[in-house]
Chain A
Amino acid sequence: MFTTNIAPRFRSARLRTIGAVAAVLVAAGALQLFDANPAASQTLRLTAYSASDDPGLDPAHKAWKNAVAVQVPLSSQAGAYVSGGGSIPMVTAKALHVDNRLLIRVEWADATRDESTTRVQDFADAVALEFPARAATSVPAICMGQADAGVNIWHWRADSQAGFKEPAQVYAGSIVDMYPSRDTLFFTARAAGNPYSNPEAGPVQTLVSQTFGTLTAATVQDVQGSGVYKDGTWAVVFERAYTGADGNQASFSDGARTDMAFAVWNGSEGDRNGKKSVSQFVQLSIMGGDAPGSDGANRMTVLIAVALLVGLSGLGVTLATVGTRGGKVR
């Protein structure tokens, strides 16, 4: 079909080859500008640009204004271990880096602020980020990894942030005669080194997993985080140095790309463990430069756009010229 509309001279192999190469170069230029990975063209992309100001763990810091937001849809966990959940439909993610530290901010709407796990029937709001572990040779199974491709999880919990409360603080009328000992030994899980039970541990746990049921605390808990609840919305910032202190963790660098996934738990729905709202893999890209909206990035965009325009125009003119020279439709 194509060949009947083009002049006989253009059907020569040499010119067809030149045309094909030109088309590929144009496509490559366009992809470079938009930084898209063709293989992951169906996935969302979260880009971490350099932050001009260090926002620290404050989700409301103005440095986040320039960061590009990505809306990540969530659904209940499907597949091998269906557990219900899915009450949070979307999380908005942003990423920055500063001084070789990666910062990721997640925000989602949740009508109820669930940060107490004092009562047996209460579960807490939480959010987690999942990355392939450094040793992963292939893309891990999104549900907690697989034997040859573990995952590294950063897990923020509202109850860990709110802290433990004594019965006397929670129940005004409660009476306790005495506790024979307050030694850590008798807070059995604390003495066993359980990070979730440790009041010194902070709101974020650094975890590794290599399939269902193997989730374990990383040997070094180096991810920091903090969450703020305002007007029916949680905003949580995670922060960690590019290189994890524990060898089995994801590591980042300027220019790196990795997959990542999000999970959100809504405490008032009884979410915990597999009962959560989870995303598909999203691509995280760490760009050396500043976020768009700052001058440097714009200039580069304009230059690439101009180059493409010139190149495409040239190609178009060439085709038109070649096509009309002695062309006659058979």
Chain B
Amino acid sequence: MAKVRNWQLGREMDYRYENGKAKRQFAAVFNINRCIACQTCTMACKSTWTFSPGQELMWWNNVETKPYGGYPQNWDLKVLDLQEKANPGGQVWNTGKKDAKTAPYGTFEGKTIFETADQVDKMATGYIPDEADWKSPNIYEDVATRFPKEGVSLPEHSGWFFYLQRICNHCTYPACLAACPRNAVYKREEDGIVLIDQGRCRGYRKCVEACPYKKSMYRPSTRTSEKCIGCYPRVEGTDPLTDGLPMETRCMTACIGKIRLQGLVQVGDDGLWIEDRQNPLYYLVHVAKVALPLYPQFGTQPNVYYIPPRWVPRDYLRQMFGPGVDDAIAAYENPSRETLAVLQLFRATQSIIFSYRVVQGPKSGELRIGGQTREVFDDTVIGFDSKGREIVRVAVNEPVIERQGALAFAMNTI
């Protein structure tokens, strides 16, 4: 057992292996406020990778409705429950002392899934979901919590639901990797993508048991386990479309609602992000702090971050995204000029944006939102590729085009 640094938990923790060498880490930000569950991401992944015999129940990307849905069913409730039973009352955060770099959300004083496991038979606390749990990926889609008889009122509905879009988090400390007795799961140095070696796997399904997010999936037609591969050929830049430039994954680029931004962030060998101020993901996670990890208390240091939904009760969100929720929602609801600009980079291009620059423009107006004055500026954001060349330029204020004539009535709803 080794001691590794987990900045999301603000402390050291036990992990089976020492940190390996790392150059860049696959990371992404998903804006839950914008997702409409069109499932285009899900189908993009399915039609690219999991359309063959034995993969019928496999959804490497899935979009589930919270709170009742989940694929596999109740995955998060079951893992949270196992952890709570192993450390009753102890799974709490201490938000007293924070450090912007090493403990931005405070310190998690509970136990990770590695720390509640015996490290002999099990490397991480987990369970193998039965086949039936995988059969209904959309169960309870669009089902809200109960609306009380007396009705609901703003600003926070007591009746609510939201969509949680999930892929493999390509964790810094993957549970699947720690659980495999044959070292058939490995994490790539060049981009931190976690893969299962299909030649070495013997179908023990310890990875399926260990992954708290249940993104390692068993395939009966080969008797091995498979998982999201981070579309690594695209990330490597081997797709001819981007002419050698690293490209975002299929699920990211297919997103119609433009909720996803993926990139390759710089990480040190200790798992901490290296300061890269003009990288859009670094900005959103570490500067604006508007995007948060999913269930950081499991301890795997997941690398997909979420902008939490504004309308959901905070205690539910804090359990899911940690104590940074209130600051994240405040930063999103009243975005700074720079945050608003970076948000426009989402889905502006298929190529991975390695850095950005905001060109400030004149003030174009004022709005009163929530009783406060909000100034609107005509800024432009520019995205650059891995070589520092401009690949995209987006105006923060989307130009409004009005069609005239006979089409105007048909095409303009309002």
Contacts and interface: CB of A to CB of B under 8 A. Distances in A.
A180 B181 CA distance: 34
B208 A120 contact: yes
Contacts of A84: 121
Contacts of A272: 202-205
A167 interface: yes
A273 interface: yes
A189 B120 contact: no
A182 B130 CA distance: 27
Given A182-B53, A187-B54, A192-B198, A213 B181 contact: yes
Interface in B186-224: 197-206, 208, 217-224
B401 to A, nearest CB: 40
A273 B204 contact: yes
B201 A194 contact: yes
A83 B121 contact: yes
A215 B201 CA distance: 10
Contacts of B128: 120-121
Given A117-B203, A213-B183, A194 B224 contact: yes
A315 to B, nearest CB: 56
Contacts of A189: 198-199, 201, 219, 222-224
A34 interface: no
B18 interface: no
A119 B181 CA distance: 21
A272 B218 CA distance: 14
Interface string A171-192: 0001010011110001111111
Contacts of B413: none
A188 B202 contact: no
A130 interface: no
Nearest to B218: A120
A118 B206 CA distance: 16
Nearest to A183: B52
Contacts, number: 102
A167 B56 contact: yes
Which of B183, B197, B205 has the most chain A CB within a 10 Å cutoff? Answer: B205
B318 interface: no
Nearest to B56: A167
Nearest to B183: A213
Contact of B53 (A179, A193, A194, A215): A179
A119 B120 contact: no
B226 interface: yes
A196 interface: yes
B121 A82 contact: yes
B182 interface: yes
Contact of B202 (A120, A121, A181, A196): A196
B140 interface: no
B181 A196 contact: no
A81 interface: yes
Contact of A81 (B56, B120, B129): B120
A197 interface: yes
Contacts of B223: 117, 159, 164, 189, 196-197
Nearest to B55: A186
Given A192-B198, A193-B199, A120 B121 contact: no
Nearest to A207: B202
A218 B127 CA distance: 32
A117 B223 CA distance: 7
Contact of B182 (A167, A188, A193, A213): A213
Contacts of B54: 167, 187
B316 interface: no
A197 B230 CA distance: 23
Contacts of B183: 213
Interface in A256-276: 272-275
Interface in A85-108: none
Interface of B: 51-54, 56, 120-121, 128-131, 134, 181-183, 197-206, 208, 217-224, 226
Closest 10 CB pairs of A and B: A189-B222, A197-B222, A192-B199, A189-B198, A186-B52, A119-B131, A120-B218, A192-B198, A189-B224, A273-B204
Given A82-B121, A167-B56, A273-B181, 5 more contacts: A82-B120, A179-B52, A197-B222, A213-B183, A272-B204
27 contacts: A81-B181, A82-B120, A120-B131, A120-B217, A159-B223, A164-B220, A164-B223, A165-B220, A174-B56, A176-B56, A179-B51, A181-B52, A187-B53, A188-B226, A189-B201, A189-B219, A189-B223, A190-B222, A194-B198, A194-B222, A196-B203, A196-B223, A197-B223, A215-B182, A272-B202, A273-B182, A275-B121
